[in-house]
Amino acid sequence: MQAEINALVENKTWTLTDLPIGKSPIGCRWVYKVKHKADGSIERYKARLVAKGYTQQSGVDYVETFSPVARMTTIRAFLAVAIAKDWNIQQLDINNSFLHGDLDEEVYMASRQWNAKLTKALQDYGFKQSVADPSLFTMTLDSCFTAILVYVDDILIAGTNSVHIDNLKQFLDNSFKIKDLGQRLSSLDGDLLDKPETIRRLVGRLLYLTNTRPDISFAVQHLSQHVDKPRNSHLIAAHRVLRYLKGSPGKGLFYPSKSSTKLQCFSDSDWASCVETRKSITGYCVYLGQSLISWKTKKQATVSRSSSEAEYRALASTTCEIQWLLYLLADLQVNL
């Protein structure tokens, strides 16, 4: 805990100030976790100091949120390419805990400044920021390629030269202090929950899990549409997803080391499937070789008057994703 406090102070995470009149302070809490090694032995005891962003209300305590995150498709493409090319991959954690949670205006500006500071530091080091995804930075030096992906306060590094990666890690540590790491639901069925924050936290965690478990994407997409006024029927559906996950722990994404760099995409739509709005659902998935790197299941913005119109909307969305992936893979020096 003292090491966490020291790191936050050294990084100038906050500035002490008087509480403005009419404002309520956002509390914080300690979160503890025991990190284990691969053999099950204890590696270290971890303590994080985090802000209680979940206690804020949109439009009352904050207007806008900001977290410098990479798109999950970028992360999956990043890992698929790095594994296929046998690059050295390492994960780092930057000690800046107060970037987590919903942010009020002052913390919002602080997080922007922190992200700008990190971006400038990487650019001064020689990295080039990607146009396709601003969270991706790449550098070629002495025929060695290194890529960095930033996700809030976590960093993924992959490259062809371990010495360059070690030098980069030392630079980041000196600058920032790092740690080397399907149902049909209705908005009217059922009774309103007394404690809606329970299902909101649960759905938020399930949304993160869809990054590696695409099999629950469709169900979680439906659940996330009802978190503003959740009912007991939505909580029952969420618990059903949990039971499914408990019964299928072996499912998930697998990125083979020997995979081609061929880009393949499949698209489909479900016409007028929303029982409340009659809007259609767009669905697609994209493979890099045998690795699934991108997928989507989302309600279309407008009502389609025919199944053909819904199909074309899905194809248009898919085409945009493919075009963006071409730019991203070009930054990762992948020849398709």
pLDDT tens, residue by residue, 41-50? 787 888 888 8
Higher pLDDT residue, 254 or 320?
320
Average pLDDT over residues 24-51: 82
Beta strand segments in 60-177, E: 88-94, 128-129, 136-141, 144-151, 154-159
The interaxial angle of helices 197-209 and 232-247, nearest 10 deg, is 40
Residue 155 identity (one-letter amino acid): I
65-118 pLDDT, tens digit per residue, is 666 677 878 888 888 888 888 888 888 876 554 444 444 444 444 566 677 888
Q: Which candidate, 42, 152, 165, 18, places its Cα nearest to that of 97?
A: 152
The two tokens of residue 278 are 């009659």
174-225 pLDDT, tens digit per residue, is 887 777 764 767 787 788 888 889 899 999 999 989 888 888 888 898 898 8
pTM for the predicted model, two decimal places: 0.63
How many CA atoms are closer than 13 Å to the CA of 268, on its beta-carbon side?
A: 6
Q: What pLDDT is attached to residue 185?
A: 75
User: CA–CA distance from 98 to each of 47, 71, 265, 285 (Å)?
Assistant: 13, 21, 39, 34
User: CA–CA distance from 257 to each of 76, 80, 86, 148, 213 (Å)?
Assistant: 14, 8, 7, 20, 20
Rg of the chain (C-alpha set): 22
Residue spans per domain, the chain: 2-179, 197-247, 263-331
Other Cβ atoms less than 10 A from the Cβ of 115: the count is: 20
Structure-derived torsion over alpha carbons of residues 108, 110, 114, 117, reported in degrees to the nearest 10: 120
Q: What pLDDT is attached to residue 41?
A: 79
CB 49 within 8 A of CB 28: yes
Q: What pLDDT is attached to residue 177?
A: 73
Cα(49)–Cα(4) distance, integer angstroms: 7
